[in-house]
Structures are given as structure tokens and as C-alpha cells.
């Protein structure tokens, strides 16, 4: 019952416009000040802001692992529940992400999710079929803030030469929130 | 969708002209005077969107007024005229449709609408429904009057979606051109990334208000992460690769250079994609021929993999188009005759038009988000063939094979 009461509030918060450009001013926080983020061999790293949050993106071919620190002053999401109720935690069509299990990440047991996201798309005026790929993600508490960790492989044909999901599990084991 | 024809025009203008020169925008008063001549004796439409929504008579009045500014061309086929009239009428069943129709009239905008034969369109049945997969339509906003063309396949299929496409083209693109003229940014607004996003939001919102399922993947991407929407659009078609945020308009060169580098990176991945698909074909072939697995069980994976291989040439051409356009824009940024264009972008980046557009888009996205999350759906997939090996199963078989004593290398 409580969930039913909370849901409309989450929907309202989650439906907030996504298009606003991040306010200029303060320099972006360094995400590595907040967590020890493991780096695998052969992965390239880049840091940038994603919807107001500092994010570290690691890529190996089409395998992508991201660590994003949400809940900060410029974040679209102040609480994990806002993120989990919003578009970024749902499959295309709006179905909430599917729970696939749990894992201990940085000392906390967290729920692992997967959702279907669009892959390659036809031009916006065409209605042809589009590819969907899987995104795996979880939310890890970090004091008053939280990390959104994710893994995806950007193609519908899997990579026969590299086990990305294993790399993801190894990443989760080694990820550690710093005490501040 | 902003048309290939406009894109070609834009491309050649960029390359050939030292600076674009447009006729000065008419004032609203001039537009009003001109509009008065076109009205059918009742004078200018003075109603509001709310009045139009309150009764059938109110909606009929708004439709009549709209048709004094929107000429329906039936190409000699009265059935097409009737269908276009029905599409305009259906748009006015949506509150956003009525609001934008009154804004279209207040702005003094005009358009001619018609169906058009879109090359390579085939109407076919999918899950018992007629459909087609080519462009739904486009707007020639620089024409006088602007022209909106809908795919004539809407006469046979996806009729419910035609009002969404019409609203996108007529109110998202054509009305916006008129607004841009009023603000004096008609030469720069087409370089702004929100030009397409705004039209997208208009169409999706009208569709949602008409009770339709929002199954356009671009809509879900935009609502999840507008930055991701813009990033993806810029690698989708050459025209979009040249569009800019307000900040980037002040200094486009670094943005174009970064996109060119990304395009080159994506181009380099295509041979790897080909290699990977060919590797899976060899693995499947090995499993069938050496390990006696049933060939029929791999039919779906073989079809998918061959479709990926077939799509690579098209993707390469598209990326090369993007590369060519970005290269031309980068050259333009460094050329003497490109400086006035750069100055115009820089000067107009902070124009009120762009701020107002972003504000309205945020409001529209807010309303649309509530509608989309209030009415979710699960993807409709064609029924899967029974007894087919899936990708996760094939990956597991391949892992087992590698760990076995077989010793075969693909």
C-alpha cells in the first residue's frame, strides 16, 4: 500500500525535464575523490558530467562500464528512489528494470538490475525496427549520495573474444566507496 | 524530420556562399495584414485553444481558421484531401494540437500540405497490421509557402500515427521557422540541436494526448537523457551532425572536430563488427559440421548475423556522409568566407528565441514524462521460432567448446 502511495510522487519527480543544460559555474567534482574505481587492462577511461553528475566511463571496444556519482547539488536525482522510479531505470516502453540478483559492492548488499535500451536506431522520422541491448546496473550508497554503476555491450551480436559480464562482476567486487 | 532536400540545400549554401542572406523577416503586423486577406470573410481567428477544446463548434471554428493558413493539396485525388482534412481535425483533439494551432494562426504562419510518394516505401503486414518503415514525412520550411509532405503510405497503413507526423512537421518545424523569423534567427536556428528535438516533443506529446502508445525509441531516449538523445542524433544523419548546443554555437570548431574524431572511431569499428559476425558464422558452422548440432536450431541466429553483415555497407556510407559534412563545416570554420557565418552563430547564440524554446521544451517534456510513465507498455516482439538457440546459449556452448579437448580455433 505504501508503495502505491509513493509511486505517484516518484513518477512526478522522475518525469522532471531531462533537457536542461547543467548550470555552469563550479568545476566538476572529481569522481575518484569519492571512490576507488578499478581499471581493467586495455580499457580506456574518460571523465565527464552526465545529467549534472560526475561520471567515469571505461570502454573496451563496445563494452562500456560507467560509475556515476548522483545526489549532488547539480544532480537530476537527489535520492536513489528518484532514479529507480525514473526513465533511466526502465526499459523502453516504461517497464521497470528487472531484478537479476544481489551482490555485495563496497560492503553493501545491493540489488542488480537489467533493462532493455535502444541500440542502433533508424533516423527519427522512420519507424523501422530498432535494436535493443541490455544494460546492467546497480545503485551503491555513498553517504548522502549514491553511485550508479552500469555495464552494457553496444551491439546485439555478442563479443566472442571477451566476457564483458565477467568483467562487470569483477568490477563490482573491486569497486570501493571512499570514507569522507 | 528536416528533409534531405533541405540538408542538401544547406550543405551547398555552406560551401558556396560567403554568408547567407535572407529577406528580412516580415513584422507581425505585416503578417497579420496579409493573413486578413486570406481569411474567409469571418476575419481573424480570435478564439483560444481552451475555447476550441470546449465544444465541437469551437474545434470546428479553429479547424476552419487553420485551413485559411494551411492549404490542402489533394494531387487530384479527393480522397487524399479528405484524409488530410481528417488528420488536421484529429490533431485538434489534442490540447497541445489546439494550442499550437492557435499559435500557428497568431504567428501568421502558412503551409501547403499534401501526400507524397516516398521512394522505397513498401506497405506490408506485421503481426496482422499493415505498416511501412520508410520516412513518415518531411517539411520544406524554406519554401514559400512552406510545404509539408506526408508519406502516401499513410492512406493505407498506420493511419493513427499520421496526426503525430503532421503535428511534428507542421507545428514542430514549419511554425518554428516562422517564429525564428520573428526573432531574426532564421539563418541560425537550423543549426541548433533543439530544432529536431522540439519537433520530436511536439509529435510525441500530441500522440500521447491522443491516447497512443509512444513506441518511438527516440522519445524514450530523450526522456531518459536528453544529452544522450543529442549525442545519438549527431551520429545518425549528416544534417544532425552539424547541429549545436547554445554554448557550442559560440565556438563550433572544437565540437565539430570532436565529432569528426568520434565518427572516425566509429568507422574503425565497422571492420571489427564484420570480423566478429564472420567469427560467429564460423563457430556455428563448426558446431553443425563437427559436433553434429542441428542446423535448424541456428536459423534465427544465422539470419540475424547475416542481416548485421548486410547492414555494414549502409552504415559505412552513412558515417562517410557525416564525415564529409563535418569536414566541410570544419573547413568553413577556418575559411575567410566562413567568418561571417561563425560571427552570426556567435552573436545569436544568446538570442531570446533559444532560451524561450528551451523553456517551452522543458515544460512539454515535464508533461509528456508524466503521460509516458502513467501508461507504460511492453515491447511487441514477433513470436520467436520454437527450438532456436539464443545468443546467451550460444555463448555458453562456445565457452564449453573452448574448454573442451576439441582444440579447434575459429
Q: Is residue B260 part of a domain?
A: no
Chain B interface includes A14 (CB < 8 A): yes
What whole-number distance in Å separates Cα of residue A80 and Cα of residue A88? 12
Q: Where are the alpha helices (DSSP H) in B93-183?
A: 95-107, 162-167, 175-183
B136–A127 C-beta distance less than 8 A:
yes
Which chain A residue has its CA at the smallest distance from B161's CA? A127
Q: Look up the domain containing B179 and give its range.
A: 4-250+345-375
Residue B356 with chain A: CB contacts under 8 Å: none
Q: CA torsion angle for A97, A103, A107, A110 (degrees, to 10)?
A: 20
Q: Is residue B308 part of a domain?
A: no
What whole-number distance in Å separates Cα of residue B4 and Cα of residue A126? 13
What is chain B's pLDDT, residue by residue, as a tens digit (410 residues)?
A: 555 444 544 444 444 433 333 333 343 334 434 443 334 444 578 788 888 988 999 999 999 999 999 999 999 999 999 999 999 999 999 999 999 999 999 999 999 999 999 998 999 987 788 999 899 999 999 999 999 999 999 999 999 999 999 999 999 999 999 999 999 999 999 999 999 999 999 999 999 999 998 989 999 999 999 999 999 999 999 999 999 999 999 999 999 999 999 999 999 999 999 999 999 999 999 999 999 999 999 999 999 899 889 989 989 999 999 999 999 999 999 999 999 999 999 999 999 999 999 999 999 999 999 999 988 887 656 677 899 999 999 999 999 998 999 988 88
Low-confidence ranges of chain A (pLDDT < 50): 1-24
Least Cα separation, residue B230 to chain A (angstroms): 10
What whole-number distance in Å separates Cα of residue A86 and Cα of residue B224? 8
Chain A interface includes B317 (CB < 8 A): no
Least Cα separation, residue B366 to chain A (angstroms): 5
Please name the fold of domain A2-14+29-177: Protein Transport Mog1p; Chain A (3.40.1000)
Q: CA torsion angle for A84, A90, A94, A99 (degrees, to 10)?
A: -90
pLDDT at A3: 33
In this prediction the pTM is 0.86
pLDDT at B379: 64
Chain A interface includes B224 (CB < 8 A): yes
What whole-number distance in Å separates Cα of residue B330 and Cα of residue B338? 10
State the complex-level ipTM. 0.86
* Helices and strands, counts by H and E, chain B: 18, 6
Chain B interface includes A16 (CB < 8 A): yes
Least Cα separation, residue A33 to chain B (angstroms): 25
In the numeric block, the cell 549527431 is attached to: B234
A137 vs A60, A169, B53, B108, B191, CA distance in Å? 18, 11, 44, 50, 35
Least Cα separation, residue B145 to chain A (angstroms): 22
A-B C-beta contacts closer than 8 Å: 152
Interface of B with A in 153-212 (CB under 8 A): 158, 161, 165, 194, 196-197, 200
pLDDT at A102: 98
Q: Is residue B309 part of a domain?
A: no
Q: Which of B196, B217, B362 sits opposite A19 (nearest CB)?
A: B362
Q: Which of B196, B305, B365 sits opposite A19 (nearest CB)?
A: B365
Q: Is residue B281 part of a domain?
A: no
State the total domains in chain B. Answer: 1
What whole-number distance in Å separates Cα of residue B175 and Cα of residue B169? 9
Burial of B260-271, coded b for 16+ CB within 10 Å and e otherwise, reads bebbeeeeebee
Helix axis angle for B4-16 and B299-334, nearest 10°, is 30
Mutate to test the interface with A, among B134, B223, B239, B322 (most CBs of A within 10 A): B223
Q: Is residue B223 part of a domain?
A: yes
Calculate the average pLDDT of chain B: 89
Long-range contacts of B36-41 (CB under 8 A, 24+ apart): B38/B68, B38/B69, B39/B65, B39/B68, B40/B64, B40/B68
pLDDT at A29: 83
Chain B interface includes A87 (CB < 8 A): yes
Which chain A residue has its CA at the smallest distance from B364's CA? A17
Which chain A residue has its CA at the smallest distance from B370's CA? A15
Which chain A residue has its CA at the smallest distance from B214's CA? A93
Residue A155 with chain B: CB contacts under 8 Å: 273, 276
Which chain A residue has its CA at the smallest distance from B301's CA? A157
Chain A interface includes B266 (CB < 8 A): no
Chain A interface includes B135 (CB < 8 A): yes
Q: Is residue B207 part of a domain?
A: yes
Amino acid at each position: 500500500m505504501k508503495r502505491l502511495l509513493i509511486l505517484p510522487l516518484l513518477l512526478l519527480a522522475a518525469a522532471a525535464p531531462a533537457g536542461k543544460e547543467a548550470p555552469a559555474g563550479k568545476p566538476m567534482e572529481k569522481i575518484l575523490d569519492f571512490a576507488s574505481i578499478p581499471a581493467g587492462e586495455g580499457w580506456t577511461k574518460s571523465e565527464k558530467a552526465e545529467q549534472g553528475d560526475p561520471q567515469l566511463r571505461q570502454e573496451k571496444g563496445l563494452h562500456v562500464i560507467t560509475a556515476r556519482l548522483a545526489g549532488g547539488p547539480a544532480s537530476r536525482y537527489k535520492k536513489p528512489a528518484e532514479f529507480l522510479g525514473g526513465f533511466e531505470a526502465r526499459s523502453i516502453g516504461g517497464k521497470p528494470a528487472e531484478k537479476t540478483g544481489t551482490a555485495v559492492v563496497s560492503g553493501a548488499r545491493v540489488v542488480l538490475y537489467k533493462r532493455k535500451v535502444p541500440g542502433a536506431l533508424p533516423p527519427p522520422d522512420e519507424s523501422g525496427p530498432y535494436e535493443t541491448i541490455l544494460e546492467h546496473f546497480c545503485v551503491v550508497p555513498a553517504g548522502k549520495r549514491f553511485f550508479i554503476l552500469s555495464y552494457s555491450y553496444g551491439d546485439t551480436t555478442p563479443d566472442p573474444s571477451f566476457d564483458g559480464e565477467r568483467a562487470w562482476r569483477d568490477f563490482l567486487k573491486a569497486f570501493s566507496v571512499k570514507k569522507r | 524530420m528536416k528533409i534531405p532536400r533541405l540538408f542538401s540545400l544547406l550543405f551547398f549554401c555552406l560551401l558556396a556562399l560567403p554568408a547567407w542572406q535572407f529577406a528580412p523577416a516580415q513584422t507581425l503586423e505585416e503578417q497579420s495584414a496579409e493573413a486578413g486577406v486570406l481569411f474567409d470573410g469571418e476575419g481573424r481567428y480570435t478564439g483560444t485553444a481552451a475555447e476550441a477544446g470546449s465544444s465541437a463548434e469551437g474545434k470546428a471554428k479553429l479547424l476552419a481558421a487553420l485551413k485559411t493558413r494551411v492549404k490542402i493539396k489533394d494531387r487530384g485525388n479527393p480522397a487524399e484531401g479528405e484524409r488530410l482534412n481528417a488528420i488536421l481535425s484529429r490533431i485538434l483533439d489534442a490540447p497541445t494540437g489546439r494550442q499550437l494551432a492557435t499559435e500557428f494562426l497568431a504567428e501568421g504562419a502558412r503551409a501547403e500540405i499534401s501526400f507524397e510518394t516516398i521512394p522505397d516505401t513498401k506497405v506490408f503486414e506485421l503481426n496482422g497490421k499493415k505498416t511501412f518503415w520508410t520516412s513518415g514525412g518531411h517539411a520544406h520550411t524554406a519554401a514559400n509557402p512552406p510545404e509539408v509532405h506526408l508519406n502516401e503510405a499513410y492512406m493505407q497503413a498506420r493511419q493513427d500515427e499520421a496526426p503525430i507526423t503532421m503535428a511534428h512537421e507542421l507545428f514542430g518545424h514549419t511554425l518554428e521557422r516562422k517564429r525564428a523569423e520573428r526573432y531574426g534567427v532564421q539563418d541560425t536556428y537550423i543549426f541548433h540541436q533543439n530544432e529536431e528535438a522540439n519537433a520530436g516533443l511536439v509529435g510525441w506529446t500530441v500522440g500521447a494526448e491522443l491516447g497512443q502508445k509512444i513506441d518511438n525509441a527516440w522519445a524514450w531516449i530523450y526522456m531518459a537523457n536528453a544529452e544522450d538523445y543529442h549525442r545519438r542524433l549527431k551520429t545518425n544523419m549528416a544534417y544532425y551532425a552539424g547541429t549545436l548546443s547554445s554554448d557550442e554555437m559560440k565556438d563550433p570548431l572544437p565540437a565539430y572536430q570532436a565529432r569528426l574524431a568520434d565518427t572516425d572511431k566509429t568507422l574503425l569499428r565497422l571492420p571489427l563488427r564484420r570480423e566478429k559476425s564472420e567469427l560467429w558464422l564460423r563457430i556455428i558452422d563448426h558446431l553443425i559440421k563437427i559436433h553434429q548440432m542441428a542446423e535448424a536450431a541456428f536459423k534465427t541466429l544465422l539470419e540475424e548475423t547475416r542481416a548485421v553483415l548486410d547492414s555494414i555497407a549502409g552504415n559505412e556510407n552513412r558515417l562517410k556522409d557525416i564525415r564529409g559534412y563535418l569536414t566541410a563545416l570544419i573547413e568553413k570554420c577556418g575559411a575567410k568566407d566562413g567568418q561571417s557565418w561563425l560571427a552570426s552563430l556567435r552573436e545569436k547564440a544568446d538570442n531570446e528565441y533559444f532560451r524561450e524554446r528551451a523553456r517551452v521544451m522543458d515544460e512539454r517534456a515535464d508533461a509528456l514524462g508524466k503521460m509516458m510513465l502513467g501508461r507504460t507498455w511492453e515491447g511487441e516482439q514477433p513470436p520467436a521460432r520454437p527450438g532456436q538457440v539464443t545468443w546467451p546459449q550460444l555463448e555458453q556452448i562456445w565457452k564449453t567448446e573452448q574448454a573442451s579437448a576439441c582444440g579447434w580455433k575459429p
